[in-house]
Chain A
Amino acid sequence: MTVSQAFVTEADLHAYVDGLLPLARRAEIDAYLALRPVETRRLQAYAQQNQALRALFDPVLDEAVPAPLSAPRKRRQWRARRVAAMLLIALIGAAAGWLARGMLGP
């Protein structure tokens, strides 16, 4: 066993599964695992978990994105303002009509 193999940590093993190790360190872990079938099976199971999760959820990436997510909420605010403006105009119209009725009435 080389010196660096003696310092294989749990962090190293997870990083190995996730492909996060530099090439040199990866080779050291390969050598470390060559003599440890139980540990190798454990890491294979972890790698299979990653694959299974991607197989399960990657299809979501291809779903159509709901339109409201792709734009700021502003648009909806504008719609609200437009409705408010129309109501205001209607109100002014009604008030003007009522006033006119008062002025022109008997």
Chain B
Amino acid sequence: MQDKSARLIACIPRLRRYARALTGERGAADDLVRETMERGWRKLSAWQPGSDMRAWLFGILHQVQAEQARRFQGGGVMPAQAPVVPAASVGDNGALRDMDAALAMLPAEQRAIVLLVALEEMTYEEVAATLGIAPGAVLSRLSRARECLRKLMSGQRVAPPLKVVK
């Protein structure tokens, strides 16, 4: 149990880094991590030793985020666009500032994949398991996201992502 707790705590900085990049906003990121950790502590006894705790915890974060997004939609209020990430360490670095803005323009599900790969250095199988999607979907979204970022960063116009109409 001690070991489990220590491993859970060790994941917090990575969760916070990911949440900050994903939401683009400190307050929203803190909320997301707080809720994720509450569930993590609650469900800790159900975690199987020997399995990947990081994937388990990041999976919980995504459940929480999906629920929060649904609540948002239920309330009828949805931010028009992800807020621009406050300059964590952007300073005068133009390239980083551009990446900051470009990231916020990606569709959320593409942003998640780019970040899990770039920040967490997950394999595509690990990303698929974490997000509960097929490995093929990971690759196609990663490919689209990177191309979109590349165009945005080089100043090309990018067609706004189409809303999925059900």
What is the CB-to-nearest-CB distance from A72 to chain B, in angstroms, rounded to a whole number? 4
What is the CB-to-nearest-CB distance from B75 to chain A, in angstroms, rounded to a whole number? 26
Chain A residues with Cβ under 8 A from B103's Cβ? Answer: 53
| Among A29-37, A54-62, A86-94, A95-103, the stretch in contact with B | A54-62
Chain B residues with Cβ under 8 A from A52's Cβ? Answer: 95-96, 99
CB contact between A49 and one of B17, B20, B146 (< 8 Å): that residue: B146
What is the CB-to-nearest-CB distance from A16 to chain B, in angstroms, rounded to a whole number? 12
User: What number of A residues sit within 8 Å (CB to CB) of B?
Assistant: 34
**Secondary structure type dominating chain A contacts:** helix
A102 to B84, CA, bound (A): 68
Q: Does B69 contact A (CB under 8 A)?
A: no
A3 to B88, CA, bound (A): 47
CB contact between B142 and one of A14, A42, A56, A71 (< 8 Å): that residue: A14
A60 to B114, CA, bound (A): 17
Nearest B residue to A42, CB-CB:
B150
Mark interface residues in B18-59 (1 if CB within 8 Å of A CB, else 0): 101100000000100110011001101000000000000000
Contact A60:B16 (CB < 8 A) given known A49-B99, A73-B38:
yes
Contact A53:B118 (CB < 8 A) given known A60-B13, A70-B12:
yes
Please name 5 further chain A to chain B contacts, defined as beta carbons within 8 Å, in addition to the given A50-B118, A70-B12, sorted by A numbering: A46-B150, A49-B99, A52-B96, A56-B99, A57-B88
Interface residues of B, Cβ cutoff 8 Å to A: 9, 12-14, 16-18, 20-21, 30, 33-34, 37-38, 41-42, 44, 85, 88-90, 93, 95-96, 99-100, 103, 114-115, 117-119, 121, 123-124, 139, 142-143, 146, 149-150, 153-154
